[in-house]
């Protein structure tokens, strides 16, 4: 009599993507091996390929997950704040204090991906660039709301302010990646937030 094989353990897609995100964020696309993914996802190679097609597709799914979480975090911060500028500066301070519920010790995954991508990784580089552009657009919209509300001068350049804000976020993440002390990160974030508030005073 033929013995029945036990049912394969079903995989949790969300848990697998979270594990892949953490691994890729820490090691990068090229330095992450299939063995690394097997261990992190607790899945066999065949199961990984059946679920995500290939390593690149899995990385792109993890990168999208990272972007969506960051966009949602910024949106929540803006929604909870009394004004757009206070929401943006609160976001910087929360990032500096490690209060956003994410791993504080790595540089921005989108920036890291864009810098690490080779000419053979056009899909990966284009995705990272696209998500950075979308984040900048979200920030630009917040500054435009601040301008409409009279919180910043009517002639303020929302896109330029958004680019500067995004650069501040990137700098904070790089400092965290370097191992800068948490108290020093919080002070840096406070300084950045105060600088934004000071330069955004309406005329």
- For 48-66, the pLDDT digits (tens) are 888 898 999 999 999 999 9
Task: Tally Cβ neighbours within 10 Å of residue 72.
Answer: 10
Sole residue written with tokens 């500028």? 85
What integer pLDDT is reported at residue 145 of this predicted model? 96
Percent of the chain with pLDDT over 70: 90
Q: Is the pLDDT of residue 92 over 80?
A: yes
Q: Say if residues 137 and 71 touch (Cβ distance below 8 Å).
A: no
Query: What are the boundaries of each domain within the chain?
Result: 56-199
119-131: per-residue pLDDT in tens? Answer: 999 999 999 999 9
Q: Is the pLDDT of residue 2 over 50?
A: no
164-194: per-residue pLDDT in tens? Answer: 999 999 999 898 888 888 899 999 999 999 9
- Overall fold of domain 56-199: Tetracycline Repressor; domain 2 (1.10.357)
């Amino acid at each position: 009599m033929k013995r029945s094989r036990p049912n394969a353990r079903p995989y949790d897609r969300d848990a697998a993507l979270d594990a892949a995100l953490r691994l890729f964020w820490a090691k990068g696309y090229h330095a992450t091996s299939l063995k690394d993914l097997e261990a992190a996802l607790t899945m066999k190679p065949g199961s990984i390929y059946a679920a995500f097609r290939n390593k690149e597709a899995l990385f792109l799914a993890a990168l999208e997950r990272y972007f969506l979480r960051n966009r949602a975090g910024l949106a929540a911060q803006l929604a909870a704040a009394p004004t757009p500028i206070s929401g943006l500066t609160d976001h910087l301070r929360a990032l500096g204090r490690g209060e956003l519920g994410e791993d504080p010790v790595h540089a921005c995954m989108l920036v890291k991906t864009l810098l690490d991508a080779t000419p053979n990784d056009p899909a990966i580089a284009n995705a990272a660039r696209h998500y950075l552009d979308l984040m900048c657009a979200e920030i630009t919209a917040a500054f435009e709301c601040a301008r409409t509300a009279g919180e910043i001068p009517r002639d303020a350049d929302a896109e330029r302010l958004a680019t500067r804000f995004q650069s501040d976020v990137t700098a904070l993440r790089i400092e965290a990646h370097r191992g800068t002390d948490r108290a020093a990160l919080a002070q840096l974030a406070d300084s950045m937030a105060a600088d934004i508030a000071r330069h955004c005073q309406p005329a």
